[in-house]
Amino acid sequence: MKQELAALLAILFAAGRAVRLDELARGLGKGPGEIVGLVNELEVELSDGAFGVALERVAGGVRLVIHPNHAELVRRALKPRPPRLSKAALEVLAIVAYHQPITKAAIDAARGRDSGAVLEGLLERGLIAAEGKHPRRYRTTPRFLELFGLESLDELPPPPGGEPPAMRD
């Protein structure tokens, strides 16, 4: 493996999170085009599972994940627990994801109940962010994309029944 690929792999391994391409460019002293080429090359190198990891593009960056060929073995050995989200948290997160930016009043109207505590929990976990003051508007964060393995919101599956209904603030 080339030294540049080894350095890229080391950065991604050490980060333990999605790393933006501009961060990689800065760290490796390369231009954006060179970084894209290195990332693509590393993705090909890891694609067969020989190293046990794969490259995943999420949240506008890249990260290392367990290669699907080794996922069951890792599960058996480590018994990892995915982060738990309550039904209410998933419901609010879906509303925010499909209708962002959205106010608490619109979320409450869609759910038929107060969402204040759920919103605070999602803010603490870094899955949503609030902007503005009166009214505050909520939107998802790059952490949301990482948790759900999405490169962008365009990858959200269509909601059951097709397009999400229009909501008014």
Domain ranges of the chain: 3-78, 87-155
Amino acid at 64: L
Predicted confidence at residue 75, as pLDDT, reads 84
The tokens describing 88, both together, are: 């209410």
Within a 10 A sphere around the Cβ of 119, how many other Cβ atoms? 21
CATH topology of domain 3-78: Arc Repressor Mutant, subunit A (1.10.10)
The answer to whether residue 167 scores a pLDDT higher than 70 is no
Stated pTM of the model: 0.68
Q: Do domains 3-78 and 87-155 have the same CATH topology?
A: yes
DSSP structure class, residue 64: E
Structure token pair of residue 13? 């391994």
Query: Is it the case that residue 96 has pLDDT exceeding 70?
Result: yes
Query: CB under 8 Å to 158, separation ≥6 — which residues?
Result: none
Q: Is 70 exceeded by the pLDDT of residue 91?
A: yes
Residues near 120 by Cβ (< 8 Å), separated by ≥ 6?
A: none
- Topology of domain 87-155 in CATH is Arc Repressor Mutant, subunit A (1.10.10)
Residue of higher predicted confidence among 169 and 109: 109
Residue scoring higher pLDDT (136 or 83): 136
User: What span, in angstroms and rounded, lies between the C-alpha atoms of 75 and 57?
Assistant: 22
